[in-house]
Every structure is written in structure tokens, then in C-alpha cells.
């Protein structure tokens, strides 16, 4: 199976950051949720930033206006892997 590794450079607002902090804090109160699968050992900051990235890349912040993605996704680079 072939795969592609992709790196994104994203920008986000203070509001997006603080929303993600609240989300991660809420998830800490529910340790049995599916959210925690594969996140063992990650710091709060890693969880916060990955939540922001997930929401930006999934279109959560730009579902009304797709042009908003241009403000959040600054750059992207990829390379092909056979792993």
C-alpha cells in the first residue's frame, strides 16, 4: 500500500486556540471516550494543536465560506512513501 506524508503550516486565532483548550479540558473529564485512542502520552499542547489542525483541515471553520481556508492553510508539502 502506498501512502503520502503531508505537512501543513496553519495559522489560527486566539479564539480557535481557546476553544481547543476547552475541548481538551472537557475530554479529560471523559477518559473512556474514543477521542483518547492513539493519544496516549501526548502533552496538552500537542492535543490542543492537533485539535485545531483537525478542525481546520476537516473544513469545520470554513464550511460556510471555502475561501476562509486560504487564511488558515499557509502552505503544504508532501512526499510519497511506500510504508
Q: What is the rounded average pLDDT of the residues 59-80?
A: 66
Place of cell 485539535: 51
* Top-confidence residue, 7 or 77: 7
> Any residues with CB less than 8 A from the CB of 9 and at least 6 apart, and which?
73, 74, 75, 76
Over residues 26-35, the pLDDT tens digits come to 999 999 999 8
Write the DSSP symbol of residue 81.
E
SS3 label, residue 45: helix
Model confidence, pTM: 0.73
Distance CA 68, CA 43 (A): 29
Amino acid at each position: 500500500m502506498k501512502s503520502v506524508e503531508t505537512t501543513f503550516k496553519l495559522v489560527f486565532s486566539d479564539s480557535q486556540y481557546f476553544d481547543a483548550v476547552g475541548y481538551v479540558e472537557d475530554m479529560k473529564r471523559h477518559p473512556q471516550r474514543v477521542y483518547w485512542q492513539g493519544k496516549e502520552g501526548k502533552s496538552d499542547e500537542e492535543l490542543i494543536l492537533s485539535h485545531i489542525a483537525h478542525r481546520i483541515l476537516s473544513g469545520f471553520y470554513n464550511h460556510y465560506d471555502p475561501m476562509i481556508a486560504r487564511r488558515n492553510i499557509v502552505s503544504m508539502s508532501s512526499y510519497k512513501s511506500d510504508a
